[in-house]
A = this chain, B = another copy of it.
Amino acid sequence: MERLPGFRDFYPEPLPHTDVWSADARQYIFEKWRTVARRYNFREYDGPPLESLELFTTKSGEEIVKQLFDFKDKGDRHVALRPEMTPTLARMVAAHERNYKKPIKWFAIPQLFRYEKQQKGRLREHFQFNADLIGESDPAADAELIALLIDALRAFGLTGKDFVIRLSSRNAWHEFYEGRRSKSEGRADPAHEYDFFQTIDKLERTPPEETEKILSALGFSLADVKQFIESGKPTGELESILQNLAARGLKDFVKVDYHVIRGLAYYTGVVFEAFDVQNEFRAIAGGGRYDNLVKLISGGKVDLPALGFGMGDVVLLELLKARGLLPKFDTTTDVFVLIEDESLRAQSLKLVHDLRAAGYAVEYALTPAKPDKQFKRAQELNVAHTVRLDNSDYVCIRDFKTRKEVVAGANDVANHLG
């Protein structure tokens, strides 16, 4: 029986096949995300992977249903596997925001699902580090969140030579749109502003002639748009964010780049994406302000400004591999207890148990095996030490790096393992 297309099996390393994924790498990535988020005093939350379909269509429109794993459950509820975390977060915050001091700083590492068109290597699920800051409209919140994003990438050993945060703002584009509209005597229809945003979003992926045609129909020219992007003049909010990040020593990781505008309709202000400098991969992370979403999801009951970002595990893993920054996961066992004399098995089991109780990862041969076979297994496991009972009272401890052996009391092993 096969797993479903677009889903991943995560195996312990060394990986048995190129078609499967590393559970060790996944855990390594999750732990880094958690560690950095906690330093920034973001608290972990989670919601159900299955939600009412309505939660997602309320945010994104009926269009999204095509991309969902949606179905009717046995209680005739129309439900869907979550394609993103933000609607769940907005629902949870709206339900209980009164009990939390603002700003709310929360993170999660959900698995997300999309029914993508089937293509080789195209996945239908991934894990995403989501960090959100809710209840603060000041750009200081944007700076705090972007600093977290930068440090979350640096935690993996990535530097300013590897990635850059491209910082932009829908407010800047809104001003551009409004400004040109008045100049051009009202030709640019405010109702078409989102069409305009989407054209900017696709600028780098669309032939110039095509963009020119669309822009012209909306009342703009490509030359004018390009000049605005090239000017790159930060708005007041972006200037404030840049100064805040500079105070932290993080200014070099960010540049204003008005190419970025983000495709989704719900962003309301600052938007940003993390890219690898060599431009080999898709965006590593992306986010921005969505000041209206909590109000929308709560049916108008709760109105809180908010912003957040998402960073997927797949592009990040590709990038870390390409830059040689993924550690080897070949040392998970600390000690191998050799049982060369079966009459000492009971005492050896006690030793195994004591060492585990002291916090060591310990392996041993479950059933009688030749000494050289046990030793070979210890080598394969890349253990730091072997320990062997010489008799009930004394053990022989071998350090695999120094190849030195010491004899110690059977109750005194931990002191020799360092």
A residues neighboring B (CB under 8 Å): 1-5, 7-12, 14, 16-17, 20, 23-24, 26-27, 38-41, 43-52, 54-55, 58, 69, 71-75, 77, 79, 81, 91-92, 95-96, 98-101, 103, 106, 111, 113, 115, 118, 125, 136, 138, 140-141, 144, 147, 151, 243-244, 247-250, 297-299, 332-333, 345-347, 349-350, 352-353, 356-357, 359-363, 366-367, 377, 380-381
Contact = CB atoms under 8 A, between A and B. Distances in A.
List 8 tightest A-B contacts by C-beta distance, closest first: A71-B71, A16-B99, A12-B43, A7-B48, A16-B96, A247-B346, A248-B353, A247-B349
A354 to B, nearest CB: 9
A118 B40 CA distance: 40
A248 B352 contact: yes
Contacts of A106: 12
Given A248-B353, A356-B39, A367-B140, A48 B16 contact: no
Given A2-B91, A141-B366, 11 more contacts: A1-B297, A4-B48, A4-B73, A4-B77, A10-B46, A17-B96, A41-B361, A43-B332, A71-B72, A243-B346, A247-B346
Contacts of A81: 50
A356 B151 contact: yes
A77 B357 CA distance: 47
Given A353-B249, A361-B39, A45 B10 contact: yes
Given A248-B353, A377-B101, A47 B96 contact: no
A27 B37 CA distance: 14
Identify which of A5, A43, A113 gathers the most chain B CB atoms within 10 Å of its CB.
A43
B91 A3 contact: yes
Nearest to A377: B101
A111 B72 CA distance: 20
Given A1-B55, A58-B1, A100 B48 contact: no
Contacts of A9: 45-48, 92, 95
Contacts of A345: 247
A389 to B, nearest CB: 12
Contacts of A151: 356-357
A98 B17 CA distance: 11
B144 A366 contact: yes
A52 B367 contact: no
A374 B360 CA distance: 43
Given A248-B353, A353-B249, A118 B52 contact: no
Given A16-B96, A367-B140, A54 B248 contact: no
Identify which of A54, A73, A360 gathers the most chain B CB atoms within 10 Å of its CB.
A73
A17 B99 contact: yes
A164 B54 CA distance: 46
Contacts of A39: 356, 359-362
B356 A74 contact: no
Contact of A332 (B41, B98, B111, B360): B41
A353 B74 contact: no
